[in-house]
Amino acid sequence: MISLKFENLDYNTLVSNNNNHIVINKEGEEFHFKIHLKNIDDKLVVFSNGAINPEKKEPPIFMRESWVNDMNYSSIFVDDKTLHGNNLKLGWGIGKKDRHFLKDYSEIIKKIVRILEIENKNTYYFGSSAGGFMSMALAAMHSETTAIVNNPQTYVYNYYKTTVEALYETIFPDMLHKNIQKEYSTRLSLTSLFRVCKRTPSIYYIQNRLSKFDMDKHLNPFMQMLDKYNIDSTPIEFILYNDKSAGHNPLSKETTLKFIELIIRNNLILGNK
């Protein structure tokens, strides 16, 4: 593991630490990444975490990093520092009261993309559940990029009450919930973020239609708010599948990798894409 300052991030450092855990210090905060560069490809996929179990493994955690040998493209795995040292299981990149960590991740990833001379249009963000929320947010902050998400959250406050309350009490102590949701709307609502960014990213939204909680609390409200606020939804492809036994659980490794490969090779052409 190597630690370096954001300002000192350069090509030689990235290449010499390929396949390693790196820590980037940016404005006093340390952020953890794993970077795997493939010389044979000009595509990059950035992976964000879903829920973790801190009783089994404490952060930093890089979900799906074991998949790298099955990928023909470069990849970055993002640890969510929101979960460090507080026993939370989900963080959505919210950060701390005075700092939105997703913005830091975005600035770091955009710098890495520039250094590697990867085109934005060849940069993809992938995640499921909370990682799906983070991926859509990161794509909104990064022009011309695409998000690939599976059973994501779209509104943090629509997740299970106990989890949301634990998050609020940890990150925003002594604030009323209604005030948190108003003051920090762009951290908690994708449609609020899209409106501020003035951008709806290209999204492949892959959803199990038989996961009722996801449909009722996230997909349907998301579509309703897109229409309510006249947010352009044409860049979004909604891909529904039916798996009652799987519920909210993500697709298998094999199916997920197949989806990613088809999308980044432009072999999955749907609707207006």
Report the distance separating Cα 214 and Cα 71, nearest Å: 28
Backbone angles phi and psi of 130, in degrees to 5: -65, -35
Is pLDDT at 215 greater than 70 in this prediction?
yes
Higher pLDDT, 1 or 97: 97
Helix H, strand E, coil C: the string for 157-216 is HHCCHHHHHHHHHHHCCCCCHHHHHHHCHHHHEHHHHHHHHCCCCEEEEEEECCCHHHHH
pLDDT the model gives residue 211 = 98
3-state secondary structure (DSSP) of residue 112:
helix
Report the distance separating Cα 237 and Cα 170, nearest Å: 35
Read off the pLDDT band of 271 (50, 70, 90).
low
Q: Which CATH superfamily is domain 2-264 in?
A: Alpha/Beta hydrolase fold, catalytic domain (3.40.50.1820)
Report the distance separating Cα 23 and Cα 76, nearest Å: 13
Global pTM? 0.96
Read off the pLDDT band of 172 (50, 70, 90).
very high
pLDDT (tens digit per residue) in 144-170: 999 999 999 999 999 999 999 999 999
- Answer yes or no: are the C-beta atoms of 159 and 166 closer than 8 Å: no
pLDDT (tens digit per residue) in 110-128: 999 999 999 999 999 999 9
pLDDT the model gives residue 273 = 46
Q: What is the mean pLDDT of residues 181-194?
A: 98
Q: Which residues 6+ apart lie within 8 Å of 1 measured at CB? A: 20, 21, 22, 23
Report the distance separating Cα 12 and Cα 130, nearest Å: 33
Q: What is the mean pLDDT of residues 226-235?
A: 97
pLDDT the model gives residue 267 = 78
Share of the chain above pLDDT 90, in %: 95
pLDDT the model gives residue 178 = 95
pLDDT the model gives residue 112 = 97
Is pLDDT at 143 greater than 60 in this prediction?
yes
Is pLDDT at 5 greater than 70 in this prediction?
yes
Q: What is the mean pLDDT of residues 73-90?
A: 97
Average pLDDT of the chain to the nearest whole number = 96
